[in-house]
Structure 1
Amino acid sequence: MGMSRPLTGTLVALLLALTACGGDSGDPGEAAAGDRCVGDFDPAEDYFPVKQTVRHASNFTLRYAKNYQVITVKQPSPGVKPETYVLVRCGTPAPALTGPLAGAVTVETPVAKVFAGSTTHLPFLTELGALDRLKGVAAAGLITSPQVRALVKAGTVVEYGGVTGEEVDTEKVIGARPDVLMTDGRENRAYGPLRQAGVKILANAEWQEATPLGRAEWIKFVAALTGGEATATRVFDKVAADYGALVAKAAKASPVTVLPGQMFQGQWAVPNGGSFTSRLIKDAGGTHAWAATPGTGSATLDLEAVLAKARGAKIWLPQVNEWKTLADVTKADPRHAEFAAFTSGDVWSINKVLGPGGGNDFYERGVGRPDLILADLVAVLHPELSPGHTFTFYRRLTR
């Protein structure tokens, strides 16, 4: 278990034969999905009366035909060519995979069994009321959600990727017969054998979006699979409205200088001006020394270069699980005491909620709830605008 290993043709055939026998007929997720299959196909009928519109996400597109949807993920991971998925309403015929659909992966929807390769997928399933579809997770120890951890403990959800999620147990995945295995878009040596065995592998690459609302809108990607279109639209519209209201509130205050990040393996990654982090800081009514740097990624500097440019920043926002006190900061490097934010004690990290295995709720639930992240940041940068705020992800390091 926990090791990715090649499957022989005989073993693949045997596993496929065993899993084709129908499985557990008492699985409520499968029964529910079966109930939603079309019994008498009418080519003139529109089987998607509720349609989603993608407004903020830039890394995937969604279009509709009468009985299927087409999702194209433009860049599953950096430098990788686009992938197209044809989501066919269960009980209706799939289109010919020719022309623009050539090479597409076809999936019958709504799906009943989902394997999730990233903890960022879990809040979307939760918000959609579709946790009953979750049957597998890559690395259970990294999960912060009590609901999902309880499902793993009960054996309802299996772990297929080991401690880190990287070493995929191919036999376990094939034996479980997931309708889809969502990945973060990065390839794993196990995916070839899994595709050979008929497992549908889809890239949920929300992490490549440069805006908070762009990442959150990937709930619509998951909804297209589960049939939760109306719920996804309602949830996302509320998040977007709350986020917009916070941006408007923060815009009334003077920008506060921020120091983002921290040293890691001898380098400090500072966000470029078009990055996700820079957008959050700007929307919260802040700015930083690299805000005018073009690009969506980050640049790496040494500590002395960061001190030279951002020594006087009012607020420091590291992203470190381990730092709980200011003593932890100087223990990591005594030169950290030279930052003005350290002297004033205005050092805030994202480690308020950590899972028992070290997972961080900021990176899990925060992906779908940028409104909660922004509410915390506005309260950090402009406490006068948010009196009595209860923090969700951020905590101030103690002395």
Structure 2
Amino acid sequence: MSPARVRPVLAAVAAAVLLLAACRDAPSPPAEPAPEPVRPDWRVAELFAPVGAAGRPVLRDVARCAGRWYAVGGLVDPVGETRPVAWSSSDGATWSPLPVRARTFYGRQHVLYAVACRDDGMAALGAKAGGVHGNPRTGTWVWRPGGPLREVPAPFELFGGPRAVSASRLAAGPGGWLIAGARAEGAAVWTSPDAEGFVLREAVPGLAGDGRGRTAAYDVAAVGSGWVAVGSLLPPGGTARTPLAWSSADGRAWRRAVLPVPAGAYGAAERVAQLDGGPVAVGPVGDGFAVWRACDGCGRQPSGPADVWQRVGGFGAAGPGVLSVDSLAASGRRLVAVTGDGAQRRLWTSRDSGVSWRPVITPVPMPDGGDTAMVVAVHGDVLLAVTDGGMRSQAWWGVVPGIDQ
């Protein structure tokens, strides 16, 4: 190559080098600042044991309706024996135990793990491992104002037996009471008009598993006089779940909806709550948590159970273990969620129906794993949290002025 031709080539190479250097030296756009954590003024709420009862409180769930808060769990004595316990409060700060009336051998040992309420009372799910296989002996409890929390005896195979898988969560609404869970065929529900006795509905088309895979329901919320349940689908031979939601006007017939996720992503919808604008679901997807909202055709406010869902937001990041959503509570357009990442449980809040989220400082550091738990409820600017680190359970309440601003 002649010297005359070499010089333009060298000039072009030099220009490219200078351009690359300039690109490397150019400042990158500033990172989006992390949202400022919400810092509740947490205070311990004293939960006294029933008269004559001894043991360490084990708190598992909380709820609020009709101007009262409810907390449920159990007492564990020094040798590990358990008994069911429930408390109520008008302000979240001062609590009183409810009288408890068990009627069966396993009921007297139950730990209550899920609670729901409406204007005329409260109901709970309880369980105790037992029998030759050590499976949970699950049952229901009901409370009416002025009376005790009563165990509702039921046939063993209503919740147990060879077809049993799980009875996960409980909801109450104008249409009655509903439990979401799973049986051998997949997702199943139990319905009741008054929580005095439940009817199992399993192998229901659209709800149970089919040729598309095995389903499981993890949570349920009342929507008007109907219901929305959430869960997942595991395809035949697969190992990755797809998030699902179901809607029903009466708890008997169900319609299935697949919740949208990014291409190649998998996950589950683990909790659902009813907001002023309709139901919102939250669950682990990929390396974080996804938020979906039912939009009833995406052009109108939902007037009842919806079949169309949009992904509206997300938050959090992957941890060293399996991601989970352990609790979800709603008040107005406000959401509060507890998540686990395999190492820590974390608390989050959204003031815009799940579009954007801020971390919330927890009352105490809470590990994720083992016999630990953390759940929340919210009303107005009051947060109620119960924590169990495996050695000690506590209830906390905190006023958060401006949480919705």
Please give the range of the TM-score, normalised by the shorter of the 2 chains: under 0.3
Provide the TM-score with structure 2 as the length reference: 0.22
Q: Provide TM-score, normalisation by structure 1.
A: 0.22
Higher relative contact order (CA 8 A, sep 6+): 1
- Larger strand proportion, structure 1 or 2? 2
Query: Which protein has the larger Cα radius of gyration, Structure 1 or Structure 2?
Result: 2
